[in-house]
Amino acid sequence: MRWLLALLLFILAACNTGGPGFAGIEPERVSQDGSAFLFRQTGPLIEAQRISPEMMPRFQMVATKAGRAAEARTGCDVAWIMGDQAVMVMALDCPGGPPPPKMPRTKNWSCHAITASRAITDALVSSDISLNCTRG
């Protein structure tokens, strides 16, 4: 019976750890448009774990929120996003930095972020992120 309790505690402890390449990085809690994420960054890559409960979220909606949060937090454009509604990896395209690594081939949905800026007033500029998603 003790081994069952130990296994359960081990599984619960692993739920909030970083994925491959992000383990051991302290997460930063970020909120965007009603969704909450844990961000872990290594170089130009960010892993975003959605931690907010949402009823049947679509990948494109969650990825757009995570992309907006990453752009607001870093000041860099998001080059691509891949993953699912719970965990995503984003590549940052920062001015003066190295180009983001190419998106790995996957059989899951992948999205390329397209940023468009528009002027609302002379002083305020709004930036919209649209995603071009494909299943690969």
Q: Which element (helix H / strand E) includes 59?
A: helix 59-74
Q: What confidence tens digit (pLDDT) does each residue in 26-73 have? A: 999 999 999 999 999 999 999 999 999 999 999 999 999 999 999 999
Predicted local confidence at residue 2, as pLDDT = 66
Predicted local confidence at residue 103, as pLDDT = 73
16 or 118: which leads in pLDDT: 16
Backbone angles phi, psi at 33, to 5 degrees: 50, 45
All residues at 6 or more sequence positions from 77 whose CB lies less than 8 Å from its CB, including other chains: 71, 92, 93, 94, 113, 115
Q: Edge to edge, what strands does the sheet with 109-119 contain?
A: 28-32, 35-42, 45-50, 87-93, 77-83, 109-119, 125-135
Q: What confidence tens digit (pLDDT) does each residue in 77-119 have? A: 999 999 999 999 999 999 888 888 877 665 555 566 665 555 5
* Locus of tokens 């049947």: 56
Q: What is the separation of C-alpha 60 from the centre of its chain, rounded to a whole number of angstroms?
A: 11
